[in-house]
Structure 1
Amino acid sequence: MSAEPRVRQRLEPDQRRAQIMKVARALFGEYPYESVATTDIAREAGVARGLINHYFGGKRGLYLAVVRQLVTAPSPIADDLPNSTVERRVTVLIDRWLDLVERNASMWLTAIGSEAAGRDPEIDEILFQGDEIATDWVIQAARLTESDECVTELRAAVRSFGSMMRAASREWLVRGAFTRSDLHVLLTDTLLHLLNVTFPALCASRRVAAR
């Protein structure tokens, strides 16, 4: 970590908060949580340490805010998708998601590593929220409507796919088992099969069971 403090600048509160989070995202992504001190973050951000407590309540609150921003913050991933086939829209959606993960690889792995290493109720809740947001993206991309008949199965199937996405991203970023191109093919083909084959079968099964 840098030993030289950054030159302090006069910024609006929202700008200052964003600056602290940007530095924290980089440090938490590069170093273990236990190795990052609020003094390190304050020095890199060029702010007084008290501002971290003021805005976030301390290191833990800042860490959770960074994870929440990465996993659940509004994103243009599903905005302005091509007015084309579902296959094309899903292809673009997956490509944008891979862009997001690749840009934030270290912090992404730190965030989902909490899920793999053990139970952390606060991280779990953030990841659950992220699952719901990602599910909305897929439903939007696929131009599906959440009919009352099969909404439970639809959302559960897409959330399950989200768990696969996180596991597959580890194979790409940590193990190197996939190239980005490989992963794009895997995720796109799997999601399209889920939407075109698996979900209709689940919905049909629901209708039969309801008779």
Structure 2
Amino acid sequence: MGGRRQTQRRRMEPDARRAEILGVARRLFGANGYATVSTSDIAAEAGVARALINHYFGSKRRLYLEVVRQMMVVPASVSRNLPPTGPEERLSICVDRWLDVVERNREMWLSAIGLEALGNDPEVDRIMLEADEIATDRILEAALMADVTEGRTQLRAMIRAHSAMLKAASREWLVRGTLSRSDLHVILTRTVLHLLNTVYPAIRAADGGSAPPTP
């Protein structure tokens, strides 16, 4: 990707500069792939010296892994400032916000979930495991079930399992075009509610326990 015209450099606070570099890297890696993009390309596009990328991230791979982590970990903003209503509305808002993130970063999202399918990379695997746990936290927070203790292990396992369907369904939307965004919104919201309201109580009953009342 040589010959890229360097963006004019601007003064920025360190956190803002780091975020800008990540944004540029996310866009370039998503559009062109890891092997094609160099740190020089990213530096030129971001309007920084290449040494600054090394300062913040250490290496191209570390930068790439941070981009993957940024893509896969559901941001806190997805479940922030939700209305004090019921789980259905709160989960619907979360799903809509998450779809916004994926839609803005289509290529990098698809690249990141493709890495998970390949496997055999312990660092990527750790990122994916962390992402699943954080996504589970966000969903339970939105569903007003963050404090559930009875059957908590099974509950969290169900939500983690749901994330695999979420990724597959996003390919149907973004790659195959067999689902629209609104279709995906309905699928993701309704399946989570079904897990929480129907499957989770059934599992608790089968285990001889009782689930807490639906919020």
Normalising by structure 1, report the TM-score.
0.92
Q: 1:193 to 1:174 in 2, by over 3 A?
A: same
What's 1:118 paired with? Answer: 119
Amino acid at match of 1:110: S
Q: CA deviation at 1:119?
A: 2.5
RMSD of aligned C-alpha atoms? 1.6
**1 CA distance for matches of 2:66 and 2:42?**
14
Aligned to 2:150: 149
3-state secondary structure, aligned to 2:11 = coil
Which residue of the partner structure matches residue 17 of structure 2?
Answer: 16
Match of residue 42 from structure 2: 41
Q: Residue type matched to 2:115 in 1?
A: S
The letter of the residue matching 2:50 is R
Q: Secondary structure at the residue paired with 1:166?
A: helix
Structure 2 residue aligned with 1:207:
208
Q: Percent same amino acid at aligned positions?
A: 55
Aligned residues: 208
Aligned to 1:193: 194
Q: Deviations over 1:56-100 (max 9, x none)?
A: 111001011112222226421111222222222222121111111
Q: Residue 91 of structure 2 corresponds to which residue in structure 1?
A: 90
Output one character per residue of 1:106-132: Cα deviation in whole Å (capped at 9) or x when no partner.
111111110123332111111111111
Q: Report the equivalent of 1:28.
A: 29
Instruction: In structure 2, give the amino acid aligned to 1:53.
Output: N
* Contact 2:91–2:139 (CA under 8 A) maintained in structure 1: yes
TM-score by length of 2: 0.90
Q: Which runs of 5+ in 1 are unaligned?
A: none
Moved more, 197-206 or 150-159: 197-206
* 2:177 pairs with 1:180: no
Rate the CA distance shift 1:73–1:200 in 2: closer, same or farther, 3 A.
closer
Q: Which moved more, 1:71-80 or 1:128-137?
A: 71-80
- Bigger proportion of residues as helix: 1
